[in-house]
A and B are shown apart, each in its own frame.
Chain A
Amino acid sequence: MKRKSFLIDTTLCTACRSCQVACKQWNKLDAEATVNRGSYENPPDLTPQLYNQIQFIEQDKGDDLQWLFINRRCMHCADAGCVKVCPSAGALYHTKEGMVAFNQDKCIECHYCVNGCPFDVPRYDARQKVTKCHACSDRVQNGLAPACVKACPTQALKFGDRDQLIAEARAAGKKLYGENDLGGLGVLYVLDDQPGTYRLPKNPAIPASIFFWKDVVKPLGILGFWGAVGVAALHYVTVGPQKFDESDDPQHKGGE
């Protein structure tokens, strides 16, 4: 199976938020009460009921207000930090299209995954189970486009074979974010400015502590435990125990 990807061209986005609504509809996610924060951006962040969100980057340019929009969601990393830290195999997993989906029946509610994610994506629902964009794995398996992509009126959101999307963008002279990071992201962005302006890490990577925990401490820990058991056993059969002569107790004169 060829790896699939989203291609999100932020220059085409009008912030209509059809994608937010279509996702809620397909995934049966409830509407949420929000407050007016003096911005059209709404809600302000991903929530357990919101798998994708249009972020407004509002730039004050003298008399002008410049708006940048970006559709934020799970990036479907090939080298996914969430999968790395999840203790329950199969709760988060790569589909055969290379997207990162989840199985709530296997989720043990530990809430580790958001800490492994370089993009702060996973959220936890009322049952304390993991939720996030799963690339409409149910639709894609049946040959349909993801709901958000289908709803997007400007084709800012596209979904398809990763190689082909990259080739097309290159041919159109567009620079891509996420082509090679973390083994290649499953969400490629065409940006109108620096990644930092969109609050994206310039070089996304698994957080250093998480890498050290899972790739150094864990293997060395297992080795260390059995090493200690081995050393103790070896000591016992070579040097041997520190015995004391029991028959020679100070007051031990011919039995008690």
Chain B
Amino acid sequence: MANYVDRFNAADRILHWIVAISFFLLMLSGLGLFAHTFFGYFDLFGGPQQGIMVHKWAGVVFFVSSVLLFLRHVGETCRFDADDRQWIAKLGGYLSRKHQDIPQGKFNAGQKLYSIFAILAALVLGVTGLVIWDPTAYSRELTQFSLMLHGLFFTLSMVGMVVHVYLATIGNPGTLDGMLYGQVRKRWAKKHASKWYRKVAKD
């Protein structure tokens, strides 16, 4: 396996897929509450009451696993340097076919921003989710505001998820390998995360 370099260990990968699976369960079970058009999605769970039940408990799993996932990578994702600023200025080179050499650490600036957005969204969805767990438990104003914020961060999360999935799969071939079995091609690492590659290649 000389062409490969280790990127995520088993714990990283399992945690990520728990977050992802619980996210899609939340999406499918939440859509029926979001708009009449999607009410039929409750059939996937055997009915609206069952769907709401799945949503509540998947929410707990999503919240806890999102926090753990964030904590695992926080050392890499919350520090920005001059290269990151260059990445943001050039939008990661995604607007042109020509290869642009922007040295990046384990995660590029876009991924760092996404991980910060994801934990923020999980916190907001989690806290507002607890408030609306029983929509008659707290004051009307707090419940109304929480319903609105929950819907807002749900929609923002959907947009973030689409971009994330695209860039992690067909948008950047070879990226998914790391999350599936932990290793990426060295060539991939040199292209996408040259600073990180130099560091791990030395060890």
Contact = CB atoms under 8 A, between A and B. Distances in A.
Interface of A: 85, 87-89, 108-112, 114-116, 120, 124, 207, 209-210, 212-213, 217-218, 220-222, 224-225, 227-229, 232, 235-236, 239-246, 248-252, 256
Nearest to A251: B2
Nearest to B201: A250
Contact of B148 (A209, A235, A250): A209
A232 B166 contact: yes
A132 B8 CA distance: 56
Interface in B164-203: 166, 170-174, 185-188, 190-192
Contact of B95 (A110, A239, A243): A239
Contacts of B24: none
B155 A225 contact: yes
Nearest to B42: A108
A101 to B, nearest CB: 18
B185 A110 contact: no
Contacts, number: 138
SS of B interface (majority) = helix
Contacts of A250: 3, 186-187, 190
B3 A112 contact: no
B143 A115 contact: yes
A222 to B, nearest CB: 7
Given A232-B163, A236-B171, A246 B187 contact: yes
B148 A217 contact: yes
A124 B136 contact: yes
Interface of B: 2-3, 32-36, 39, 42, 48-49, 52, 93-97, 134-136, 140-141, 143-145, 147-148, 151-152, 154-156, 158-159, 162-163, 166, 170-174, 185-188, 190-192
Contacts of A235: 94, 166, 171
28 contacts: A87-B32, A87-B34, A87-B36, A108-B49, A109-B49, A111-B135, A112-B147, A207-B141, A210-B148, A213-B144, A213-B151, A218-B35, A221-B34, A221-B158, A225-B158, A227-B159, A232-B171, A239-B95, A239-B96, A241-B170, A241-B173, A242-B172, A242-B173, A242-B191, A244-B173, A244-B174, A244-B185, A244-B188
Given A210-B148, A225-B155, A235-B171, 5 more contacts: A88-B48, A209-B147, A218-B34, A244-B192, A246-B185
B135 A114 contact: yes
Contacts of B95: 239
A208 to B, nearest CB: 8
B39 A212 contact: no
Q: Which of B39, B96, B166 has the most CB of A within 10 A?
A: B166
User: Which 10 residue pairs spanning A and B have beta carbons closest together?
Assistant: A221-B155, A108-B48, A228-B162, A213-B148, A232-B166, A209-B144, A209-B148, A111-B135, A251-B2, A244-B191
Contacts of A244: 173-174, 185, 187-188, 190-192
